[in-house]
């Protein structure tokens, strides 16, 4: 039995808001990932089939390896057309916020959304969501926001109306937010959902290839360069760190999304507990931080304490407004601060 996220009153209110809305806007966070894209495009497809006028809006462009997703070409990108996006937001009579817990994740659009008078529905699986929505569906134990969207549609008896396109988007979101079901994916619910999505005719193997076997030669060479020349390994703390500068990205003709998944690679090293990547933002004077861990080491806690970020137990991120050398120094301080936890031997069951 899948979770029922809305009580009777909440379900009635959700349906009333959707029924009365004529122009709906779905927002996803800056630097969108597979889950943000998958959950928003699935919901958009579902609502469009109900006759609603729906627009998905993102602060900045999405990675090239997600451009195949059904409906991706219709997404409005704020950085490419501020005025048109503002007009579309102003016309909206219902707002959805998917896969983020704070309006700050919308960057330049945050104030536009905060001041809007239309009702808002937020669906997310990150910790500590802001209390800004009329309806909030939040579950930090869920694998992804895409999983939450599926559960909500099932609760609304919308499975029969779920299209193959929407099913592909949901599967992509669940797959990418669990590292192809290698973390945060031990619940039987997840595999029940996958079994139901397969009945819609999706090809899960093809979706995997579309996401993970869709890179350029330069991207593969960049991966080799990082592992051979850039990765530093702290044996005592079982931790890997690597950084990537704008100059290095230029050398390998970097495209948005090319760094996706790099932070997971060092976790293949036997005994590794933590992997940290640092990358210069190509558009802002920031260092983007990604953290991945195994077992019970909390990336979320470290990201909040040292990198102005947060996320989940085994996957988190943040940013630092400083030089790369300064960011590397801060990273070393973070590792030292957690030396006892990271150096502790894993006790096998």
Q: Residue 143: which CATH number? A: 3.90.1640.10
Given 161, 195, 212, the domain boundary residue is 212
SS3 content of the chain, % helix, strand, coil (to 5): 45, 15, 40
Distance CA 317, CA 289 (A): 5
In this predicted model, which residue has the larger pLDDT, 282 or 187? 187
**176 and 86 assigned to the same domain:** yes
What total number of domains does the chain contain?
2
**Does residue 184 fall inside a structural domain?**
yes
CA 176 to chain centre: 8
**Does residue 162 fall inside a structural domain?**
yes
**Does residue 330 fall inside a structural domain?**
yes
**94 and 158 assigned to the same domain:** yes
**185 and 237 assigned to the same domain:** no
pLDDT in tens, 190-215: 999 999 999 999 999 999 999 999 88
Taking Cα atoms as reference points, which of 302, 337, 335 lies closest to residue 317?
302
**18 and 94 assigned to the same domain:** yes
pLDDT in tens, 118-176: 999 999 999 889 999 999 999 999 999 999 999 999 999 999 999 999 999 999 999 99
pLDDT in tens, 64-114: 999 999 999 999 999 998 999 999 999 999 999 999 999 999 989 999 999
**Does residue 349 fall inside a structural domain?**
no
Residue range(s) defining the domain that contains residue 295: 217-343
**191 and 262 assigned to the same domain:** no
Given 212, 229, 244, the domain boundary residue is 212
Torsion of CA 32, 35, 37, 40, to 10 degrees: -120
Distance CA 338, CA 303 (A): 12
Given 197, 212, 227, the domain boundary residue is 212
**50 and 180 assigned to the same domain:** yes
**245 and 320 assigned to the same domain:** yes
Distance CA 161, CA 62 (A): 27
The enclosing domain of 306 has a CATH number of 3.10.310.30
How many CA atoms, within 13 angstroms, populate the side-chain half-sphere of residue 265? 20
**110 and 134 assigned to the same domain:** yes
**304 and 187 assigned to the same domain:** no
**Does residue 143 fall inside a structural domain?**
yes
pLDDT in tens, 217-260: 999 999 999 999 999 999 999 999 999 999 999 999 998 889 98
Q: Which residues contact 6 (CB under 8 A, 6 or more apart)?
A: 14, 135, 137, 152, 155
Contact 204, 171 (CB under 8 A): yes
- pLDDT over 70 (residue 9): yes
Distance CA 347, CA 324 (A): 36
**78 and 223 assigned to the same domain:** no
**Does residue 267 fall inside a structural domain?**
yes
User: What tokens does 60 get?
Assistant: 């900045």
User: What tokens does 26 get?
Assistant: 């779905």
Distance CA 294, CA 167 (A): 29
**92 and 111 assigned to the same domain:** yes
Taking Cα atoms as reference points, which of 243, 317, 300, 237 lies closest to residue 272?
237
**162 and 304 assigned to the same domain:** no
**Does residue 74 fall inside a structural domain?**
yes
On the 0-12 / 13-18 / 19+ scale of CB atoms within 10 A, 291 is: buried
Taking Cα atoms as reference points, which of 229, 222, 299, 300 lies closest to residue 261?
222
- pLDDT the model gives residue 282: 84
Q: Residue 195, SS3?
A: helix
**Does residue 2 fall inside a structural domain?**
no
Report the DSSP beta bridge partners of residue 102. none
Taking Cα atoms as reference points, which of 47, 50, 28, 30 lies closest to residue 39?
28
Give the whole-number percent of the chain exceeding pLDDT 70: 99
């Amino acid at each position: 039995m899948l979770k029922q996220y809305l009580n009777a009153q909440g379900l009635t209110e959700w349906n009333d808001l959707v029924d009365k809305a004529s122009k709906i806007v779905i927002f996803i966070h800056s630097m969108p990932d597979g889950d943000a894209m998958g959950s928003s495009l699935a919901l958009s497809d579902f609502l469009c089939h109900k006759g609603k006028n729906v627009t998905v809006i993102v602060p900045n462009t999405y990675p090239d390896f997600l451009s195949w997703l059904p409906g991706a070409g219709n997404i409005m990108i704020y950085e490419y057309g501020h005025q048109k996006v503002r007009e579309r937001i102003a016309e909206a009579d219902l707002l959805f916020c998917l896969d983020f817990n704070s309006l700050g994740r919308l960057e330049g659009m945050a104030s536009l959304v905060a001041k809007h008078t239309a009702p808002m529905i937020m669906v997310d699986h990150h910790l500590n969501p802001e209390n800004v929505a009329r309806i909030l569906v939040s579950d930090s134990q869920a694998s992804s926001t895409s999983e939450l969207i599926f559960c909500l549609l099932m609760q609304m008896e919308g499975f029969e109306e779920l299209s193959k396109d929407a099913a592909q988007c949901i599967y992509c979101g669940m797959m990418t937010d669990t590292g192809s079901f290698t973390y945060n994916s031990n619940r039987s619910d997840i595999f029940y959902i996958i079994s139901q999505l397969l009945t819609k005719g999706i090809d899960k193997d093809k979706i995997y290839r579309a996401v993970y076997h869709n890179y350029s030669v330069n991207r593969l060479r960049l991966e080799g360069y990082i592992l051979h020349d850039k990765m530093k390994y702290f044996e005592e703390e079982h931790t890997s760190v690597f950084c990537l500068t704008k100059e290095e990205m230029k050398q390998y003709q970097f495209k948005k999304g090319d760094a996706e998944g790099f932070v997971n690679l060092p976790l293949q090293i036997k005994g590794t507990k933590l992997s940290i990547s640092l990358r210069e933002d190509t558009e802002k004077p920031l260092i983007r931080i990604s953290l991945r861990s195994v077992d019970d080491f909390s990336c979320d806690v470290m990201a909040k304490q040292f990198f102005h970020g947060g996320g989940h137990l085994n996957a988190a991120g943040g940013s630092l407004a400083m030089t790369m050398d300064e960011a590397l120094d801060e990273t070393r301080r973070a590792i030292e601060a957690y030396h006892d936890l990271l150096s502790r031997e894993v006790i096998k069951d």
